[in-house]
Amino acid sequence: IDVDHVLHYVINGHNYNNERERNVDGTWSNARPRYVGVTRIEALPHSPSELLYVTEGNFDNLRPDTQFYRHDIFNVGHMPFGHGGNVHNNPRMIHAHDDRHQGRVPILFFDSHVQVRYLEPDSVPPTLLLP
């Protein structure tokens, strides 16, 4: 066990109450809609069963005592895959090429159900984070 990596999960850091506009490529116009309040579960932009709440994190070169802010994900760059399935090199969520759990990742959704999904673009799309 690496004692520097005491936390193992990242949480969805989006605040869905922010006024945002979707760009043509599916991304949002403001990249940091977070830490400005709470969102009621019935106000989520789509079904709580389709939005990631907590998942396994990427802790390469991370020290939780000085980089606690990296224990959240709030934009597509923090996911293992981007739009079109491109692989991100340094996501906050588990790496696409990580072979722990036989290439799968556990995901807790806002409705409290858990799924274990393969680390593939179709199984872990950016839409799990963004509406």
Mean pLDDT of 11-39: 62
Query: Tens digits of per-residue pLDDT, 32-72?
Result: 544 456 677 887 878 999 999 999 988 776 666 666 667 88
Phi-psi region of 15 (alpha: psi -120 to 50; beta: other; left: phi over 0): beta
CA dihedral angle for residue 96, residue 101, residue 103, residue 106, rounded to 10 degrees: -60
Q: How confident is the model at residue 12 (pLDDT cuts 50, 70, 90)?
A: confident
